[in-house]
Amino acid sequence: MIRILAVFVALICAAPAIAQPLPAGTDKQNTIVIDTTKGRIVIKLRTDIAPQHAERIKQLAREGFYNNVPFHRVMDGFMAQTGDGQNFNGTGGSKYPNLKQEFSSVHFKRGVVGMARKGDSVDSANSQFFIMFGDGAPLDGKYTVIGDVVQGMDVVDKLKKADASSPGGAVTDPDKMVKVQVAADLK
């Protein structure tokens, strides 16, 4: 019952965001719309530099894999990570095989979206991704850039952050992606 109530409240909070128009010139086939417990985030996928990763994100969004998935790792000034629709805690992936890296020269800065991976294994990205709060130069050329936030960085800034003593930036009672859709499929 509490879980149903929580989803209901999240939908009510997301309602104003759902009514927002997409930014002008948005390629709806390559844009992800994330309605969260804090509002709407719109991400332009970088199919020019990471076509396999962009396709995976769209595939999982269309399958509903990302719905109600938490931002399990949120580190103030660094990044907010989500995308574990398997275990909901940052340890899982999807039913699909891991992806080969698609590194580029794009700089990790505020609003850039990157694909998370396991440890030092460069070809282990699967379903998890992160959104940068600030500069992330140490990640340049070591993680795949999959997109840019084109609307909703104010929403990203509102996500519940990990306590400073939390190992690895794990968040207690995290905010969630309530619904994730490809913009072309918006309902």
Taking only the tens place, the pLDDT of each residue in 97-108 is: 999 999 999 999
pTM listed for this prediction: 0.88
Q: How many CB atoms lie within 10 A of CB 96?
A: 13
Q: CA–CA separation, 128 vs 35, rounded Å? A: 17
Query: Which residue segments constitute the domains of the chain, with CATH numbers given?
Result: 2-185 (2.40.100.10)
123 pLDDT higher than 70: yes
- Strand arrangement of the beta sheet that strand 129-132 belongs to: 69-70, 176-182, 31-36, 40-45, 145-151, 112-115, 129-132, 79-82, 73-75
pLDDT band, residue 129 (cuts 50/70/90): very high
